[in-house]
Amino acid sequence: RDNTIMRGSEALWLAVLRLDKCVSLLIYTGPDGEKAWPKKYPFCGGVFQSPIDFHKDILQYDSNLLPLEFIGYNVPSTDQFTLTNNGHSVKMYLSPTMCIRNLPFEYTASQLHLHWGNRNKSEGSEHTVSGKHFAAELHVVHYNSEKYPDITAAMDKVDGLAVLAVLLEIGPFNPSYEKIFRHFRNVKYKDQMVQVPGFNIQELLPDRLDEYYRYEGSLTTPPCYPSVLWTVFRHPVKISQEQLLALETAMYCTESDDPEPLEMVDNFRNVQEFHERLVFISFREGKLYESVSVSIKCLSWPCLTSDICWFSAISGLFLCRPHI
């Protein structure tokens, strides 16, 4: 069988991000930065956006939250992942035999990627905890394979995606992350690709997988569809200062023949308005709120044919009342 793991379903994702310059779409600061995204991508200015800040006032303990079950995460070295520079991050396509359970559906792995800052200010995580940024953040993206055939079909559906987020901080050298980081020199420029021998992707996650934040949010890059069930692990994973510096300095947004190369830095979105949501936590810490339901006017997502939508903290679901 073909050991190169890069499914055709990702072709659309790559095509959307094929830009002449990274500033054409995914610049994060300045007049054309993330504040301008809603002009072209309306969902980026909508509700239920990510990332967010986790602070005590929005946390609610949920005893029904279970540790995730990881299937097929230990990929043999005879298989290969495809690592690519897509112009705004470094992304590695994952095996279609990988999936996670103990969520509302079974979700199949698609890809992982990273967000980071720059060598002068290593505060590159997207999610924050009580206002604190971490050095970087890893996202492992999955799609709802019980309902949709691939990530392209799932990415704009309210129950389409599940993303695992790992906060990264400075500490000892991490040999598991080095299995990816050592290949950065081969994806220095946009559209470059390299094959990475398979390994156990669960090594990239924290040891305590039973403690996490859970909420419904969005993609953190355009088109910002509010289609993501987020699991953000409570405990950070450590990488060395040298490894972080490699992440912050190794790659460019531009192609190899561009006369004005642009460093790939600060590719993280700022925290977004929370819009009356709650974050459910699997651990007993923080201020716990009573279960409530907050009604809001439905805009355009996800209840395209409904009048009123609300987030039920009792069920943990986003509910809509149909037109009468």
pLDDT at 26: 76
Both structure tokens of 122 = 């290593």
- At residue 126, what are phi and psi to the nearest 5 degrees? -90, -50
Q: Is residue 112 helix, strand or coil?
A: strand
d(CA 173, CA 168): 12
**What's the burial of 256, exposed, middle or buried (CB within 10 Å: 0-12/13-18/19+)?**
exposed
Q: Is residue 322 helix, strand or coil?
A: strand
- Give the angle 229-317-38 at the CA atoms, nearest 5°: 55
pLDDT at 215: 98
pLDDT at 74: 98
The residues carrying an active-site annotation are 88
Structure pTM? 0.82
All structural domains of the chain with their residue ranges: 4-289, 292-324
Q: How far is CA 48 from the centre of its chain?
A: 14
Instruction: Spell out the per-residue pLDDT of the chain, length 324, in tens.
Output: 555 555 444 443 433 333 334 434 477 877 878 999 999 999 999 999 999 999 999 999 999 999 999 999 999 999 999 999 999 999 999 999 999 999 999 999 999 999 999 999 889 999 999 999 999 999 999 999 999 999 999 999 999 999 999 999 999 999 999 999 999 999 999 999 999 999 999 999 999 999 999 999 999 999 999 999 999 999 999 999 999 999 999 999 999 999 999 999 999 999 999 878 899 999 997 433 333 333 333 333 444 333 334 444 334 444 443 332
Element (H, E) at 209: none
pLDDT digits (tens, 9 = 90+) for 4-19: 555 444 443 433 333 3
d(CA 148, CA 245): 38
pLDDT at 30: 78
pLDDT at 4: 52
Give me the residue label for tokens 């790939």. 264
pLDDT at 275: 79
pLDDT at 298: 37
Decide if 113 contacts 122 (C-beta within 8 A): no
Element (H, E) at 176: helix 175-181
Choose which CATH entry (3.20.20.70, 3.10.200.10, 3.30.460.20, 1.10.10.60) describes domain 4-289. Answer: 3.10.200.10
